[in-house]
Amino acid sequence: MDRDARGDVPVRRLTVLYDAECPLCTFARGWLARQRQLVPLEFVPAGSGEARRRFPAVDHARTLSDITVIGDGGQLYRGPAAWVVCMWALREHRATAHRMATPAGMKVAKQVVLGAAKYREAMWQRRQTGGGAYRREDGWSYDPKDGWFHQPSGQATAAAGSDACDSGCRVGD
């Protein structure tokens, strides 16, 4: 059967991209995994090589700051809609997901996601290392001023002077 990302395509499997280094995200991932699922959930660390290989068209920097769920038919859910679709996949929470999918319910879901984002930001600030940035082992870094950026391991930054512009950026920027 030829399937695409239209709304009339059934969802048979969901992939949840989550920040594997965020305590809140890993807690949510564990909780979701322990629930009885009507639609199977698969968990892939956001920004990982596996995520990039499987979903090359996705903005992977954004997946580190906003929960992203991808359906097997190409459906893409972010933020509050991603949380609602995760609940929809769970046997005990599908009715709640239907209520959350209403305009009033999405306002509540948005507040939950914003609360989670505030918690994550506070956690990053506690775990920050030098310069106010939060750095992950896979090369992704978060700077509160500039957001997420990626520097693959082993890639040396350009030396200051003729190899950098006045702003101090790397040559390739």
Residue 4 has pLDDT above 50, yes or no: no
Coil, strand or helix at 47: coil
Cα R_g (the chain), whole angstroms: 18
Q: Residue 120 corresponds to which tokens in the numbers above?
A: 């994550």
Contact 23, 35 (CB under 8 A): no
Token pair for residue 159? 């030396």
Q: What band does 106 get if pLDDT is binned at 50, 70 and 90?
A: confident
| Mean pLDDT computed over 126-132 | 53
Whether 30 shows a pLDDT value over 60: the answer reads: yes
Q: What is the mean pLDDT of residues 106-124?
A: 69
Whether pLDDT at 56 is above 60 = yes
Q: Is the pLDDT of residue 107 over 50?
A: yes
pLDDT higher than 50, residue 170? no
Of residues 25 and 172, more confidence is placed in 25
Q: Report d(CA 6, CA 10) in Å as an integer.
A: 9
Mean pLDDT computed over 55-75: 90
Instruction: Give the mean model confidence (pLDDT) for residues 121-136.
Output: 58
117 contacts 64 by C-beta, under 8 angstroms: no
Q: What is the mean pLDDT of the chain?
A: 76
What per-residue confidence (pLDDT) applies to 9? 72
pLDDT band at 100 (very low <50, low <70, confident <90, very high): confident
Q: How many CA atoms lie within 13 A of 44 on its CB side?
A: 21
- Looking up tokens 């564990």, which residue turns up? 30
Q: Is 94 within 8 Å of 87 (Cβ atoms)?
A: yes
Note the pLDDT of residue 165: 44
Contact yes or no for 109/87 (Cβ under 8 A): no
